[in-house]
Chains A and B, each alone.
Chain A
Amino acid sequence: MRTKLLAAAISMGALGGASLEALAQAKPDVLVKQRQAAMTLQGKYLGPIGAMMKGAAPYNADIVAVNATYLENLARMPWDGFVASTQGEKSKTKPSAYTDAKFKAAADALESATAKLGAAARAKDEAGVRASFGAVAKACGSCHDDFREK
């Protein structure tokens, strides 16, 4: 039952791109706040999994399943906030993020890494979680390196 609900959540997330039309009306400062909020929450749910990977907290498959699923959805959310109208707003986003094709590639990398992690987490596959966790942190980091100001 839980898995079905989670699967439904994922597919709704996947359809989220359809709401882009409505977003085009949103104010630039709101768009910036929303994309930052999505990333803040990504950090919130990544943290406990990271602690388990380091051994700083005991492995808890249920927490990992919930967090990784939230993460998988959250990973899809920030991107429609990176529109040209937000370039004038105060943020750490480098101007190249709005023009460079690598930005979309980096976003896609995060989506696919979190999808793999989510799948392993919901299958209660600890080895799979451990194997796919690194790619998630790496995806966050490399996009920041390329597109976020120091």
Chain B
Amino acid sequence: MKPGEIQLKVWDLPVRLFHWVLVLLFAFMFFSGKVKGDWMEWHMRAGYAILALVLFRILWGFAGSTHARFSSFLAGPSACIAFARKLLARAPAPSAGHNPLGGWMVLALLLALLFQTGTGLFSNDDILIEGPLASLVTKARSDQLTSWHYWNFNLLLFLAAAHVVAVLYHAGFMKENLIGAMFTGVKRLPADAAGGVVARFASPWLALVLLAVAAIAVYLIVKRPF
């Protein structure tokens, strides 16, 4: 550590688990969506899991630890532009939580995932497989949503690639170990990087409760027992 640097815990366990489980599931969706065939049943199950995780993360974005909350990392245009200038100049601009651009990427990814899983629920393969809500709409509508489901995956790939490139840029050029931080939860930062904000960490038990709420919501959507 350089002088003037401190170790600061920024990412709670729910955020870190959410992130890495999502990475694994996303990789599986890429594979299962391409190969299809016998993998479609698991593709759909993993889709339900991703939907539950995304719903959880949205709830956690309102009720979770400081740096997990949308209110803490969604920045205005001037902050974003100022940050972008620093990035291009490779000037140091460490942030305790998500930086202004990264924060909007989080939202973009969550919304794109929501759209992907949402359209998936209504999709059909024109042969034998259809999503659990496909029977609620006309075939024409289901076909339209299926088309969007396919094309939105390209958007997701682009966003994910941009995200990876950005993280590598930060690691390589800005000397910020963002990847390690998403494992350990701890960032090495200049002492003033937190900007006076003292992070509060929400209880992991609350996270479990919210995850259960999300899981129940997905169950109700998929099984429609009512």
Q: Which residues of B contact A43 (CB under 8 A)?
A: 126-127
A150 to B150, CA, bound (A): 7
- Most A CB within 10 A of own CB, among B36, B126, B128, B151: B128
Contact pattern, B 100-137, Cβ under 8 Å of A = 1, otherwise 0: 00000000000000000000000001111000000000
B147 engages A141 (CB within 8 Å): no
Q: How far is the CB of B95 from chain A (nearest CB, A)?
A: 39
Contact pattern, A 10-52, Cβ under 8 Å of B = 1, otherwise 0: 0000000000000000000000000000010001001100100
B128 engages A50 (CB within 8 Å): yes
Q: Which residues of A contact B128 (CB under 8 A)?
A: 46-47, 50, 137
B37 contacts the other chain (CB 8 A): yes
A125 to B128, CA, bound (A): 22
**With A43-B127, A47-B128, A50-B128 in contact, do A141 and B37 touch (Cβ < 8 Å)?**
yes
A46 to B150, CA, bound (A): 24
Q: For residue A144, which residue of chain B has the nearest CB? A: B126
Q: For residue A49, which residue of chain B has the nearest CB? A: B128
Interface size on B, residues (CB 8 A): 10
A27 to B128, CA, bound (A): 31
A95 to B126, CA, bound (A): 20
Q: How far is the CB of A53 from chain B (nearest CB, A)?
A: 9
B147 engages A150 (CB within 8 Å): yes
Q: Which residues of A contact B150 (CB under 8 A)?
A: 150
Q: Which residues of B contact A47 (CB under 8 A)?
A: 128
Q: How far is the CB of B176 from chain A (nearest CB, A)?
A: 38
Q: For residue A53, which residue of chain B has the nearest CB? A: B128
- Most A CB within 10 A of own CB, among B36, B126, B150: B126
A1 to B125, CA, bound (A): 37
- Most B CB within 10 A of own CB, among A50, A138, A141, A144: A141
Known pairs A43-B127, A140-B127, A141-B36. 14 more at Cβ < 8 A?
A: A39-B126, A43-B126, A46-B127, A46-B128, A47-B128, A50-B128, A138-B37, A140-B126, A141-B37, A141-B127, A144-B126, A145-B36, A150-B146, A150-B150
**Residues of A near any B CB (own CB < 8 A):** 39, 43, 46-47, 50, 137-138, 140-141, 144-145, 150
**Interface pairs A-B: 9 shortest CB-CB:** A150-B150, A50-B128, A140-B127, A137-B128, A137-B127, A141-B127, A150-B147, A141-B36, A138-B37
Q: Supply 24 A–B pairs (Cβ within 8 Å), ascending by A.
A: A39-B126, A43-B126, A43-B127, A46-B127, A46-B128, A47-B128, A50-B128, A137-B127, A137-B128, A138-B37, A140-B126, A140-B127, A141-B36, A141-B37, A141-B125, A141-B127, A144-B125, A144-B126, A144-B127, A145-B36, A150-B146, A150-B147, A150-B150, A150-B151
